[in-house]
Amino acid sequence: MQRTLTVLNVAEKNSIAKQVSAALSNNSATRGNSCSNFNPVFCFPYNLNGTPCEMLFTSVAGHLMELDFPENFKKWHSCSALELYTAPVVKKVPQDKKAIERNLTEQARKCQWLILWLDCDREGENIAFEVIDVCLKANPWLVVKRAKFSALVRRELERSVQNLVLPDENASKAVDARQEIDLRIGASFTRFQTLLLQDKFNWEEHGIQNEKPVLSYGPCQFPTLGLIVQRQWEIRAHVAEPFWYIYAMYRAPEGQSCVLHWQRDRLYDHTIATILYETCVDAPMATVTKVDARQKLRFPPLPLATLSLQKEAITHLRLPGERMMKLAEELYQEGFISYPRTETDVFDPAYDLKALVREHLNDPRWGAHAQCIDSGEMWATPRGGGHDDHAHPPIHPTRWSAPDANQGWHPDKRRLYEFIVRSFLASCSKPAVGFETQVEFAIAAESFRTTGLMVRERNWMEVFPWARWGGNDNLPPFDLNQTFMPTELLLKEGMTQPPSKLSERDLISAMERHGIGTDATTADHIQKQLDRGYALKDAAQLFYPTTLGEALVASYHKMGLSNLWQPTLRATIELNITEVAGGRRAKQEVLEEAVQHFRGDFIAAHERSAVMMEEVGQFFNRRAGGGPGDAAGELPPGDPMGTCASCGLNLMLCKPAEGTPFVACSGAPLCRQRVYLPRATVAADISDQPCNACHNRAVRKVSLRLRRAAIPPGYDADIVVCVLCDQRFKDLCDACGTARPPGQRHNHGPPGGGGRRAPAGARGRGPAGRGGRLRGGTRRGRGQGRERSARGGAGVDGRGGQPNRGQRRRRESDDDEEEHSRGRGRGRTAPRGRGGGQGPGGGAPNCPRHSQPCLVMTSNSAANPGRTFFKCAHPTEAQDCLHFMWEDEWNGQPLGNARGGRSGSRGGEGNRGRGQRDAGRQPPAGRGHAGGRLVNAATGLPLEGGGGTCFKCGQPGHWANACPNR
DNA sequence: GCAAGGTC
């Protein structure tokens, strides 16, 4: 008789275990005992390639293990951050997964085989090896197999279980490498920048609530921040340019109308635009040169994957990604939607979609549409987007929720459910049908075009109210060679606008493009920007960096380490570990290479930490008592004399301008290795003698000249010693005491020798306030004087997209004449270059909100040429401060209310709001059309007869390029 | 007090 095999099956989550068990057992699986409440064991008999089996099917909950440093490296002061590149790492089951581990252990003991049903991706392979590790410890005789499945349907699952393979060790090793790289660089740089900056600056000044914030670094979170900061720099670097275009409009006698779009779009040369415009004005009759009418289809949305759902939810429901995922998780747990973390956007052909549609036949909101799909009248097979993670179907509704049954749901949850249902029904519906007409025209020698669209069958758009198929449905009828007189024919002026701030949708797309994070973690990385105080969202939900976020990114840029925040960072890591997954390179080789690479960056950052202090000081004021003298750059000058045993950087013999020399690590303040010399020291120099006892650290001995009267009998006044290990030196320190520079409370002394090691909390701290306040003040002064470079181009060190730091101070400064005169030359509204003063005679009023002097500007607009106004220069708001007032309307008093008393929005001046982007500015006197005659829009004078009317001043008799009134 | 990746 054939012996029954007991097989342990493990899935990545309970829902998979449940579904696979149900499919393989024909819904006859029973529940067995499990130590883990959320990971039951399903039991059923099964025939595996002719062998009768007792299947035990259980699950884990994602990763079973975590990678971390051992306890003795976990405390931040237990080691130098540099040691985190060489410290051991351990993989272990965390406390909250112990029950799952126990369950696996118990089940493994009963079984002969182990079949792994983890998700079919790299992380799944890695989790598989975590499960193997636990199970083999419990039962070393287990036969281990891997089931590879591409859909959760019976046929596919049976194919998979009858064709078991081995787990992919290379894929798992690639994840091991990624985990270790992430851990080492994340922990080391987080500790580095937090310990360096945390207690040195007044974070509260710029809205950071935490007095001592943790300044985390991560290979996903920093490139995400980099995207936000980079966009901010692009916006700031933008120089607005004027452009001109011909605008023509036609209103038919029957009331239909259309805009005729110039084929040249826009010209940046005013003279040429004017000449072309004038040729049109001289022969304004328009001729239809082409009419093209055809049917057009608009296809329904693709089935939803995680990131596409996030993007849609943000756009249509205004739900941030992280919030959306929480609600989707709830809906999934309650059985209303399918698994919400998936890359798949194509339904398996075997999926019974009609059955899902039938769930909704009785719904009062979309039931009628569902019935049309079910009857076949509206049905169309959903399109596929070409992505399949082979573990989950696209996100879709699995159960109907009647409108009165979900009253207890949060409104956002109801909206999300409705969106998923409508999106699913839309994806199963026929495409919308429209009729598009494209017409081309000629006015003089210039070409124009317009498009009209009539939607004839809305189909999927009926059930998807968020759909827009914009187009002019009021197009006048046109025939080939038809002629007509345009109702309006104008030369309009516009200004190029900077790119907009990033929306969450933009950010997700950019992260997706650069491979930053996964579909399951993208929202977390974005949320982290907000939680850490690195970025904010404005009223329009657009992201912009906080002062802190920008300061950090600018710091790494200044240190020459932009690769640590640029969006390519993650892709570079991924590229390397993909080599491991593909078996082309060994894990250890790739790992060591990456760790050494980032260690090099870390050392560079460490050595340039003074640059980081300086750069952050451009944005924040120093905190009084914030650990002066601690930055690496504040060590007195010195020469290297060996390698620091603690962190691997250089030990320096430092010679302060006053006081006794001492030995310190160049990695100060993070590395606190320091040796003070005996009080009797008169002079100290590095000798050319190496210390043999410290040979592997290349330490050289120090030659000391001592005051004879201050040393005990028996010692020479001139000695050459190793200050790290020489017993004579330690004895001298004990006998004489050690000399420490002013401000050092504690004497570290030589290691293991006479000097006492200070308590961790007090080590390395100088007297409160020394240097900090002074440095803060002088930096601010320098910042103002030095940063003359103007906004845009000149303000970015000659390279586009680089930081334009200290912009706030630059705007406040009074030395921007170069920028201002250039602005006038371009015909822009420009600051006049005074400001900063107070009172009627002294310049500008203070902005009542920001308590800083307004800029004094001169308007170049056609409506108010040369008129002076004030505007607030505050730049770090979500949108620039809107305080604005004409000078001649100011009574010399401070501006009063939120809009500045009689002041107004500056929307009409200079920097226009987003809503006005690229909107053409109509000149004061353009040309119009009334009663079939071209007229001057401002004066009403007829234009027939040639001769020209200047669009600049509105007077007839000359063209604009020869205007005497300009 | 650090990462990112699973999952809940």
Please determine, for residue A307, whether its predicted confidence score (pLDDT) is greater than 90.
yes
pLDDT at position A671 is 56
pLDDT at position A696 is 57
User: Is 0.85 topped by the overall pTM?
Assistant: no
- Percent of all residues in chain A with a pLDDT value above 90, rounded to a whole number: 55
Chain segment A813-830, per-residue pLDDT in tens: 333 322 333 333 333 333
Residue A317: pLDDT band with limits 50, 70, 90:
very high
Residue A799: pLDDT band with limits 50, 70, 90:
very low
Residue A171 CB coordination number (10 Å): 23
- Burial-class residue A355 by CB neighbours within 10 Å (0-12, 13-18, 19+): exposed
List the single protein residue with the shortest CA to C1' distance from B1: A214
3-state SS string over A92-160? ECCHHHHHHHHHHHHHHHHCCEEEEECCCCHHHHHHHHHHHHHHHHHCCCCEEEECCCCCCCHHHHHHH
The distance (Å) linking the CA of A72 with the C1' of B2 is: 15
Determine the nucleotide nearest to A183 by Cα–C1' distance: B3
Lowest mean pLDDT among A515-519, A741-745, A804-808: A804-808
Lowest mean pLDDT among A324-333, A346-355, A929-938: A929-938
pLDDT at position A2 is 64
List the single protein residue with the shortest CA to C1' distance from B4: A182
pLDDT at position A955 is 54
Please determine, for residue A16, whether its predicted confidence score (pLDDT) is greater than 70.
yes
Determine the nucleotide nearest to A515 by Cα–C1' distance: B4
List the single protein residue with the shortest CA to C1' distance from B6: A62
Determine the nucleotide nearest to A184 by Cα–C1' distance: B3
The answer to whether residues A559 and A193 touch, using CB atoms and an 8 Å cutoff, is: no
> Average pLDDT of chain A?
78
pLDDT at position A926 is 31
Please determine, for residue A809, whether its predicted confidence score (pLDDT) is greater than 50.
no
Residue A645: pLDDT band with limits 50, 70, 90:
low
- Nearest 5°: the CA angle A473, A476, A478 is 125
Q: Where are the beta strands (DSSP E) in A841-893?
A: 855-858, 868-871, 884-886
pLDDT at position A264 is 97
Lowest mean pLDDT among A266-270, A354-358, A389-393, A816-820: A816-820
The distance (Å) linking the CA of A146 with the C1' of B1 is: 40
pLDDT at position A847 is 53
Chain segment A613-623, per-residue pLDDT in tens: 999 988 888 87
The distance (Å) linking the CA of A379 with the C1' of B6 is: 37
Which is more confident, A103 or A918? A103
Q: Pick the catalytic residue: A217, A245, A339, A676?
A: A339
pLDDT at position A281 is 97
The distance (Å) linking the CA of A752 with the C1' of B6 is: 46
Residue A202: pLDDT band with limits 50, 70, 90:
confident
Chain segment A71-107, per-residue pLDDT in tens: 999 999 999 999 999 999 999 999 999 999 999 999 9
The distance (Å) linking the CA of A13 with the C1' of B7 is: 7
Determine the nucleotide nearest to A124 by Cα–C1' distance: B6
**A327-331 average pLDDT score:** 90
3-state SS string over A460-483? HHHHCCCCCCCCECCCCCCCCCCE
pLDDT at position A851 is 55
A339 a catalytic residue = yes
* List of long-range contacts for A77-81, beta carbons under 8 Å, 24+ apart: A77/A760, A79/A646, A80/A646, A80/A647, A80/A667, A80/A670, A80/A671, A81/A187, A81/A188, A81/A189, A81/A191, A81/A192, A81/A195, A81/A602, A81/A606, A81/A647, A81/A670
List the single protein residue with the shortest CA to C1' distance from B2: A187
Chain segment A468-492, per-residue pLDDT in tens: 897 899 999 999 999 999 999 999 9
